[in-house]
């Protein structure tokens, strides 16, 4: 899921867009490790802290994880062409890094403090309060859109719920540290993947 910039929302009649992230592009982060996430060498690349929903058999059984979406496209200036171009490029999605599960999330009321550093510099920060409002909105849009289009989303499907601190452009080789406060942290590096580099 991705947010549509406000200047486009009225024209497109939506505040969200969606596109697939293919299963081979999903990785699991292990605490203390630096996970390498592939991007296009001469294209666009960005790092986006997100909350990731794993669908359960019912909404009460949904699970939520900390995570990161890697946006990458062979088109270097893809965002300059607007959200329709992003949709045409599979939502500009190139991978998800799944972090820690947020246990008891339905009862969690404490704000989630999210910060991101890239190459040692603080790039973005945001406090989510209430913590899951945006994630619920993204999930609702995704489920309703999939139902209208007769797309099956079985239990276990992962839904990235939109960039928390923004879309942070980065270069091949960039190192990033993302903190979700007491909910954990994720460390990653943008690497060259085959055959996209």
**Domain locations in the chain as residue ranges:** 2-191
pTM score of the predicted model: 0.93
Q: Taking the CB of residue 31, how many other CB atoms lie within 10 A of it?
A: 10
**What is the rounded average pLDDT of the residues 120-142?**
96
If you write DSSP's letter for every residue of 74-119 in order, what string do you get?
SSTTGGGG-HHHHHHTGGGEEEEEEEEE-TTGGG--S-EEEEEEET
pLDDT tens for residues 64-99? 999 999 999 999 999 999 999 998 998 899 999 999
What does the block give as tokens for 1?
Answer: 């899921």
Stretch among 148-152, 176-180, 192-196 having the lowest mean pLDDT: 192-196
One of 3.40.190.10, 3.90.850.10, 3.10.129.10, 3.40.640.10 is the CATH number of 2-191, namely 3.90.850.10
Residue pair 188/36 in contact by the 8 Å Cβ criterion: yes
């Amino acid at each position: 899921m991705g947010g549509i910039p406000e200047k486009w929302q009225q024209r497109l009649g939506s505040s969200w867009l969606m596109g697939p992230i293919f299963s081979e592009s999903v990785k699991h982060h292990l605490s203390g490790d630096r996970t390498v996430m592939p991007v296009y060498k001469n294209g666009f690349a960005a790092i986006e802290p997100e909350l990731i929903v794993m669908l359960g058999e019912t909404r009460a059984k949904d699970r939520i994880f900390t995570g990161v979406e890697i946006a990458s496209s062979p088109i270097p200036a893809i965002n300059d062409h607007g959200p329709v171009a992003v949709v045409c490029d599979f939502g500009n999605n190139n991978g998800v890094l799944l972090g820690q599960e947020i246990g008891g999330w339905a009862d969690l009321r404490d704000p989630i403090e999210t910060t991101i550093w890239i190459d040692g510099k603080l790039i973005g920060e945001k406090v989510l309060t209430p913590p899951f409002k945006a994630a619920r909105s993204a999930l609702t849009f995704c489920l309703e859109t999939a139902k209208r289009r007769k797309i099956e989303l079985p239990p276990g499907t992962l839904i990235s719920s939109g960039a928390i601190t923004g879309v942070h452009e980065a270069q091949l080789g960039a190192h990033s540290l993302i903190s979700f406060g007491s909910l954990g942290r994720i460390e990653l590096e943008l690497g060259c993947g085959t055959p996209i580099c």
